[in-house]
Structures are given as C-alpha cells and as structure tokens.
Amino acid sequence: GDGSDGRWAKTGHAMRILERVAAAVQMTEPVLLVGETGTGKTALVQQLARVTGAPLTVVNLSNQSESADFLGGFRPAGARHLCL
C-alpha cells in the first residue's frame, strides 16, 4: 500500500535508506525519492516523521504534475471585473 496504514517493514535495505534520508534532512539537504508506485517512498517518509515527531503533509505527484499545481495560476477575469 501507500504506507498510510502505519505498517513499516524494518528490512536492512529500508533501514539504510531511512538512515540516509534522515541524515540528509538533518543537514537540511533536499531529498528526491523516485520509484515505481508501491515501493515504499511514502511509507519511508511517514516512518521518519513518526520517529522524529515531525509534522508531515503528503503530496503525491506524477510526471504530469506542474508547478502551477503547487503555486496556483492566473485565469482570465471576466469583462465585468475589469470595468469598475
């Protein structure tokens, strides 16, 4: 699943990645997790937030995601809004 059910598999591989991500976060370095759906990216970050007590907001992206999805954008105003 997406890790939202709170389960975390403490495999050696997962713990090594968790340690690396935790070290990067502690040094305020950006981290980009890339992988196929269901490989544990979200679960890893949720576990890190859980063990550190840090607040977490999950935003799922895809290769169709654009900056406007985060920042918003402009839309044309109707003529009645332009004439005051």
Q: pLDDT tens-digit profile of 8-24?
A: 788 899 999 999 999 99
| 22-49 residues labelled b (16+ CB within 10 A) or e (exposed) | beebeeeeeeeeeeeeeebbbbbbbbbe
Here the tokens at position 32 are 């980009």
For residue 1, CA distances in Å to 8, 39, 68 come to: 11, 9, 28
Which of 83 and 33 is assigned the larger pLDDT? 33
Percent pLDDT > 70 in the chain is 79
Is the pTM here over 0.85, yes or no?
no
**Mean pLDDT in residue range 57-75:** 79
Tokens coding 10 = 């403490």
Please give the single-letter amino acid code of residue 11: T
